[in-house]
């Protein structure tokens, strides 16, 4: 008997708790590039990319080969027990790639949340301080520490407390909804300078182990700071010898047309976290940082049984080859230009689009009920996601109010797939405003 999405969903509801949310009712049978096919044979253009995991596309041949070759050799030894070259080679490559004219070291973990946890551990150990400053609209993970760093209550934090202490949250550079009610550029980026005032009433710099920020906020709504923001923020951090951690879990690995999104701001972070698309769909994350920080924790203080799994390391090395030998960063930049032009046209045509923002092909469309009041169009965003799904396009919403549509399509998407996806999106926008 042929399987159906409905039958499989019934089985899912009986055997799996409701906690793991499902954006669509589709069960996927196969996927290549930027197209997925469900168990009923329906095709979907993928603008979600596994929530930013499939930058090199579904089942890229080089990644698949690397996985198979490594699995044939060995799958797991635990790096702590018996080492292997791929872990070392990957660390060397990331140390060279990461911005910063200083010596760096890299360690591996399994998920973005684990990378953030380890980055915080490193910063606290190295500075002998405990306070961590994070930001409104931030998302850093679902573990107890990273959930504490995450801003949004529902669905991420509701009833999961108490939370980790010594977490301090300040406003972010959300120019479309400025928390200081100012306008850029006349504001002179007051949101960055506010860190100095924040030290007075919230946590002293002498007690601050790190400031952690996403270069472009992911779940928070693709909020993108102006050019001056991070240089000024880093200058203040340097003044007080506070490590600046840049969380590249969603924005990194080429998502913005540069391998590290923070490169757009021209700064050199003390620590960078990386995950998602970094390993082409395999579970792997990295913490890359200044040597003196990374070397601070004692022997045995960092690590994990599966951290830096050899199959995942092999996949990540293949991903780097795809980006730098196959010119995928150039492809990403071209895709970003195409999307920005198209979305700017959409904004002119459809009143519901209040703001278009992002870098490269990492773009967000903020939907509003009224452009003057900027009242979030949360329900309209949900409806748009459903309309697109019905027509064969998978998109995701995000943002504090759930009113931002984000683009995370594989960077290898073909012109035909892109045109089809954008046509479905425009058709659904027209239907939404009808």
Q: How does DSSP assign 97-122, residue by residue? A: HSS-SS-EEEEEESSHHHHHHHHHHH
**Residue 369 pLDDT exceeds 60:** yes
Judgement on whether residues 399 and 425 belong to the same structural domain of the protein: yes
Give, in order, the Cα–Cα distances in Å from 422 to each of 47, 249, 344, 347, 402.
10, 26, 13, 14, 21
Write out the residue range of the structural domain in which residue 248 sits.
Answer: 74-325
Task: Look at residue 69 and tell me if it is in a domain.
Answer: no
**Residue 434 pLDDT exceeds 90:** no
Average pLDDT over residues 78-96: 98
Rounded (5°) CA angle 175-181-186: 65
Instruction: Say how far apart CA 202 and CA 133 lie, in whole Å.
Output: 9
Q: What is residue 321's predicted lDDT score, i.e. its pLDDT? A: 98
Q: What is residue 236's predicted lDDT score, i.e. its pLDDT? A: 98
Task: Look at residue 19 and tell me if it is in a domain.
Answer: yes
**Residue 2 pLDDT exceeds 70:** no
Judgement on whether residues 144 and 170 belong to the same structural domain of the protein: yes
Say if residues 362 and 251 touch (Cβ distance below 8 Å).
Answer: yes
Average pLDDT over residues 82-89: 98
Average pLDDT over residues 315-343: 97
> Confidence band (pLDDT; 50, 70, 90) for 227?
very high
> Confidence band (pLDDT; 50, 70, 90) for 396?
very high
Instruction: Say how far apart CA 359 and CA 83 lie, in whole Å.
Output: 38
Say if residues 138 and 150 touch (Cβ distance below 8 Å).
Answer: yes
- Pairing relationship of beta strands 208-213 and 131-135 according to DSSP bridges: parallel
Task: Look at residue 22 and tell me if it is in a domain.
Answer: yes
DSSP class per residue in 222-290: -----TTHHHHHHHHHHHTT-PEEEE-TTTTTTTTSSSSGGGGGT---SEEEE-GGGGTTSS-EEEEEE
Q: Which of 51, 406, 52, 375 is nearest to 222 (CA)?
A: 406
Looking up residue 221, the CATH number of its domain turns out to be 3.40.640.10
Average pLDDT over residues 74-101: 98
Total domains present in the chain: 2
Instruction: Say how far apart CA 97 and CA 107 lie, in whole Å.
Output: 14
Supply the mean pLDDT for the chain. 97
State pLDDT tens for residues 251-286: 999 999 999 999 999 999 999 999 999 999 999 999
How many helices (H) and strands (E) are present in the chain, helices listed first? Answer: 13, 15
State pLDDT tens for residues 165-208: 999 999 999 999 999 999 999 999 999 999 999 999 999 999 99
Judgement on whether residues 378 and 395 belong to the same structural domain of the protein: yes
Residue with tokens 């060279």: 96
Q: What are phi and psi of 157, to 5 degrees?
A: -120, -10
Judgement on whether residues 244 and 351 belong to the same structural domain of the protein: no
Instruction: Say how far apart CA 271 and CA 269 lie, in whole Å.
Output: 5
Of 325, 350, 371, the residue at which a domain comes to its end is 325
Q: What are phi and psi of 310, to 5 degrees?
A: -60, -35
Instruction: Say how far apart CA 69 and CA 187 lie, in whole Å.
Output: 55
Judgement on whether residues 346 and 320 belong to the same structural domain of the protein: no
Instruction: Say how far apart CA 133 and CA 196 lie, in whole Å.
Output: 12
- Alpha-carbon torsion (72, 75, 77, 83), positive or negative: positive
Least confident span in 1-10, 50-59, 324-333, 336-345: 1-10
Q: What are phi and psi of 20, to 5 degrees?
A: -70, 105
Instruction: Say how far apart CA 255 and CA 277 lie, in whole Å.
Output: 8
Instruction: Say how far apart CA 290 and CA 272 lie, in whole Å.
Output: 9
- Residue 43 is classified by DSSP as E
Q: What is residue 3's predicted lDDT score, i.e. its pLDDT? A: 87
Judgement on whether residues 341 and 277 belong to the same structural domain of the protein: no
| Burial group, residue 294, by CB count within 10 angstroms (0-12, 13-18, 19+) | buried
Of 325, 356, 391, the residue at which a domain comes to its end is 325
Q: What are phi and psi of 351, to 5 degrees?
A: -60, -25
Of 310, 325, 340, the residue at which a domain comes to its end is 325
**Residue 1 pLDDT exceeds 60:** no
Looking up residue 379, the CATH number of its domain turns out to be 3.90.1150.10
Average pLDDT over residues 78-103: 98
Residue with tokens 């790190």: 210
Judgement on whether residues 291 and 306 belong to the same structural domain of the protein: yes
């Amino acid at each position: 008997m042929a399987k159906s999405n409905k039958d499989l969903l019934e089985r899912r509801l009986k055997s799996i708790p409701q906690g793991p949310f499902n954006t669509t009712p589709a069960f996927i049978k196969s996927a290549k590039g930027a197209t997925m096919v469900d168990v009923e044979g329906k095709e979907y253009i993928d603008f979600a990319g596994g929530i930013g995991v499939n930058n090199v596309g579904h089942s890229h041949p080089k990644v698949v080969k690397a996985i198979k070759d490594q699995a044939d050799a060995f799958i797991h030894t635990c790096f702590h027990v018996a080492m292997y070259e791929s872990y070392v080679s990957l660390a060397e490559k990331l140390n060279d790639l990461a911005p910063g004219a200083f010596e760096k070291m890299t360690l591996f973990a399994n998920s973005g949340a684990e990378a953030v946890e380890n980055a915080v551990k490193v910063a606290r150990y190295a500075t002998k301080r405990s306070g961590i400053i994070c930001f409104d609209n931030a998302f850093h993970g679902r573990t107890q520490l990273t959930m504490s760093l995450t801003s949004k209550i529902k669905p991420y934090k509701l009833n999961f407390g108490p939370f980790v202490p010594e977490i301090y949250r300040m406003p972010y550079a959300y120019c479309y909804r400025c928390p200081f009610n100012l306008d850029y550029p006349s504001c002179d980026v007051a949101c960055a300078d506010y860190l100095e005032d924040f030290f007075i009433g919230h946590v002293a710099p002498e007690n601050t182990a790190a400031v952690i920020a996403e270069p472009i906020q992911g779940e928070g709504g693709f909020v993108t700071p102006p050019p001056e923001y991070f240089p000024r923020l880093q200058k203040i951090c340097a003044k007080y010898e506070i490590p600046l951690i840049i969380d590249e879990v969603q924005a990194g690995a080429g998502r913005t047309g540069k391998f590290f999104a923070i490169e757009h701001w021209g700064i050199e972070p003390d620590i960078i976290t990386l995950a998602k698309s970094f390993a082409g769909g395999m579970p792997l994350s990295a913490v890359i940082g200044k040597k003196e920080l990374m070397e601070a924790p004692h022997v045995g203080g960092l690590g994990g049984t599966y951290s830096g799994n050899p199959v995942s390391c092999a996949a990540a090395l293949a991903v780097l080859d795809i980006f730098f030998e196959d010119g995928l960063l150039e492809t990403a930049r071209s895709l970003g230009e195409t999307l920005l032009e198209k979305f700017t046209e959409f904004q002119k045509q459809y009143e519901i689009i209040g703001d278009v923002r992002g870098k490269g092909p990492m773009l967000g469309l903020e939907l509003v009920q009224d452009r003057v009041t900027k009242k979030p169009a949360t329900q309209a965003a949900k409806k748009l996601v459903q309309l697109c799904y019905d027509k064969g396009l998978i998109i995701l919403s995000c943002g504090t109010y759930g009113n931002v549509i984000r683009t995370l399509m594989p960077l290898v998407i073909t012109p035909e797939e892109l045109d089809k996806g954008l046509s479905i999106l425009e058709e659904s926008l027209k239907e939404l405003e009808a």
